[in-house]
Chain A
Amino acid sequence: MSKVSMTVNGKAVTADADARTLLVQYLREGLRLTGTHVGCDTSQCGACVVHLDGKAVKACTMFAWEAEGKNVLTIEGLAQNGNLHPMQEAFRDNHGLQCGFCTPGMIMTAVDMVNRKGHSLDDKTIREELEGNICRCTGYHNIVKSIAAGAKAMA
């Protein structure tokens, strides 16, 4: 078993990982950061979305060794100094979650969406950009509302 090192949520970390250890397993089992979730095995559901060097990636679809030496941001790293990120606040304020399982991936995707597409996101854009995230609870109505509000609040 070899070791893989990277920076996660601003901290240098090292953990065991063999050649087939997925990044999501490294985070969940190696680092016990269980906020990133696994909901499928074909890279569709988006529950595993994290940011790698500032861009959204699906942590279930890459190996841990591919992130060697890189910067990873997970849901646990969004809130700063005990203050929630505006996108997190927006999800709570707009009832953008029910069971919470898809939520970390949704929020990470949403933040990346704003980084790429700006602060004024219309319904159509948000819905298309959510192609890689599946929710079974909310019907997306309030997720779309949350993201639009969070996008504005991030400005």
Chain B
Amino acid sequence: MSATGIGAAVRRKEDLRFITGKGQYTDDINRPGQTYIYFVRSPHAHAKIKKIDSAEAAKMPGVVAVLTGADLANDKIGNLICGWAISSKDGSPMKMSAHPAIANIKACHVGDAVAVVIAETLGQAKDAGECVKVDYEVLPAVADPAKAQGSGAPLIHDVAPNNTIYQWHLGDQKATEAAFKSANHVTKLDIVNNRLVPNAIEPRAALADYDSGTESLTLWNTSQNPHVARLVIAAFVGMAPEHKLRVIAPDVGGGFGSKIFIYPEEVVCLWASRKVNRPVKWNSDRSEAFLTDAHGRDHVTHAEMAFDAEGKITALRAKTIANLGAYMSTFSSSVPTYLYATLLSGQYGIPNIYCEVDAVYTNTVPVDAYRGAGRPEATYVVERLVEAGAREMNIDPADLRKRNFIKTFPHQTPVIMAYDAGDYNASLKKAQELADVKGFGKRKRDSARNGKLRGMGYSTYIEACGIAPSQAVGSLGAGVGLWESAEVRVNPTGSVEILTGSHSHGQGHETTFAQLVSQRLGIPIENISVVHGDTDKVQFGMGTYGSRSGAVGMTAIVKALDKVEAKAKKVAAFMLEAAEGDIEFKDGKFTVAGTDKSAAWGDVALNAYIAHKFTGAELEPGLKEGAFYDPTNFTFPAGCHICEVEIDQDTGAAEIVAWTAVDDFGTVINPMIVEGQVHGGIAQGVGQALYEGTVYDKDGQLVTGSYMDYAMPRADYLPSFKVDTTVTKCPSNPLGIKGCGEAGAIAAPAAVMNAITDAVGTENIAMPATPATVWAALQKAQPRQAAE
């Protein structure tokens, strides 16, 4: 391993601009003559828009235009879409409502935009916005997903009776039912996977610039996938022909999924810019972000696990209600279906699984993918059932897991996924050693002496990522393929640019992708640039989410590098007057096999462009190759997290006193960056388990609407983490990469809640397990359901 190759903890190349304040985030960018836009948003969760009077607002200082949903409809701007078709059990398609970028008929959630003001300054736009008179007819609202399907609930969209979007299922219902009938023990849990607000620290932003000279539009946008944004806005929203729209996602300050989707704001900025013939700039307030960024999770589940007399899991069944909010966001339909139910086997050889999912509309902010997207929900169900089952049957939770681990691969689960490679015993064993599980008993007694309750919880998670084989997802309803692209552009002077369809918003691609290229081509890492995020510069790419940039993005680079190497060898053959088949390439040098005749990378690159040694008929000049790589399978990172908590019995406050994570990500490109991904994921998972509660009141008002009320994890809420890895290489890509970006967020909630329920002695504790919640549980602690 070289100091800058695969496996090295290379310090990040991109850091210089971030630590000196020279990053270029969307709100840092300004265009001459720009105007500022303010969105007038509904204060009601559900209301008919009867009339909008903008006369007074339009006359206020600095106002350039006041526009409404009616204006948008008149200009024939199309609606936003959900791009993944899910059908119900009866074969009927999902009930997707119209989602205009500015509400025209009625507002369906607090925060739904009803008008916009464009002005010379933001202050003027806000002042005028407060003078736009909207005449609402307030309607009853429903925020609770369990209530949304009830007969008393208000109908949100005519297209969806009982506010039901789809009623979907997966698995063998009959076989599962039979297995439950003959079970030796059944564990049952009612689980709420609490709604989260993603809260990347950079708020969303958009700057749209219409050029009337070329009749083209440029959009700077906080996007994780600029080409997808361009395609959707051009082809589905109909804003402009695709080749007349440039989308640039510059430095983006975190995404976690929330910046995948195509939102109303960027659509409106583009439309407004063309209408007023000036750039239009928008930056979200944090309170605005709470009301408009797609939220995450929000499942209500009843789950059951069947065991035989030896503690082998014979079946799992789950019924879930998934709250998708007021409109179907871009990927929303896929999260509680194909990204959730397909992971319900966990790390275990469960022979029978059946899962039903009802997706519903409510008068809340739309819900879509958020770090883990479906897999944290699945892991939580499986790992809580296993831990509760172990306690009920008086079996050590680690032993119960070991009895049920899948041990031979490939392994076909009953829920579509076929796991390719893994060693779940290895990560469990290593985690137990690192966590000193043997010493837990003593630590528990020491805690008790100090009046504290100590608990330990496991989470042996698995996920499907490296999203995804296009044919597979296409057959399941995806409207897009999930391949990735790369172009390797060698310059005459031998330096290299990698144009990647992936996007980095914190993942360090400028470093890790360069590490791959540096090792493969044998050139210094300083001679390599990674270019991403601009649809004018980079070929179509699907973007970054679903822990795919290593497995899919880097494999596309490998394929392109294969082509570059093949062509460079041809050039070298002409230079060295040898047969192409005799040229070997290693450590940046081309050699004629069995001789000491060689040519350095730099000379070969130059020769490719000077082209004096060959004719264009023999070989085209230049050295630039591209590849589009479609993965052949999902990848399956898996591991074991162990959480230890100490609970203060007087206050219910739970402190995480130790965290051990042993993950199998296959090949690791940069261990420093991978650990950072694990840390960040765990923090978000801990946030879900202990701190982050999104509260709507019965009228659909978002009570937790800012950082005053929504508890973001701070540094003193979290411990340091012990992080290590085991490795089983991924067999489906040449680098053996599984991916790591979401693992922490997937594993963590179950580990925390297994630890807390262990300490308290009752299963019925909801997330977030705030001090009040834990304290209440302590007062009510019931004896565990004894094994039959």
Binding site for B on A (CB under 8 A): 18, 20, 28, 32-42, 44-45, 47, 74-76, 78-79, 84, 88, 91-93, 95, 97-104, 107, 123-124, 126-128, 130-131, 133-144
Contacts and interface: CB of A to CB of B under 8 A. Distances in A.
B402 interface: no
Contacts of B16: 92
A136 B706 contact: no
Contact of A41 (B256, B680, B706): B706
A130 B716 contact: yes
Contact of A136 (B19, B507, B672, B684): B684
B285 interface: yes
B92 interface: no
B673 interface: yes
Contacts of B28: 28, 34
Contact of B683 (A37, A75, A126, A139): A139
Given A98-B680, A133-B715, A139-B676, 5 more contacts: A37-B253, A101-B201, A127-B716, A138-B680, A140-B683
B680 A79 contact: no
B706 A142 contact: no
Nearest to A88: B19
B715 A140 contact: yes
Shortest beta-carbon contacts, A-B, top 5: A35-B21, A101-B253, A100-B18, A139-B683, A99-B506
B18 A97 contact: yes
B42 to A, nearest CB: 19
Interface string B238-252: 000000000000011
Interface of B: 11-12, 14-23, 25, 27-28, 30, 123, 199-203, 251-254, 256, 283, 285-287, 505-508, 672-673, 675-676, 679-684, 706-708, 712, 714-716, 718, 720-721, 744
B21 A39 contact: no
Contacts of B27: 28, 34, 38
A141 B202 CA distance: 20
A22 B256 CA distance: 29
A20 B684 CA distance: 35
Contact of A134 (B20, B201, B506): B201
Contact of B21 (A34, A42, A99, A126): A34
28 contacts: A34-B21, A34-B25, A34-B28, A38-B27, A45-B286, A95-B676, A99-B201, A99-B252, A99-B506, A100-B506, A101-B200, A104-B19, A124-B716, A127-B716, A127-B718, A128-B715, A133-B715, A134-B707, A134-B714, A136-B680, A136-B684, A137-B680, A138-B680, A139-B676, A139-B744, A141-B718, A142-B679, A143-B715
B202 A39 contact: yes
B201 A136 contact: yes
B689 to A, nearest CB: 14
Contacts of A28: 27-28
Contacts of B681: 139
B20 A99 contact: no
Contacts of A95: 11-12, 672-673, 675-676
Contacts of A99: 200-202, 251-254, 505-506
Contacts of B22: 35, 76
Nearest to B19: A88
A101 B507 CA distance: 13
B254 A136 contact: yes
B295 to A, nearest CB: 15
Contacts of B23: 35, 100-101
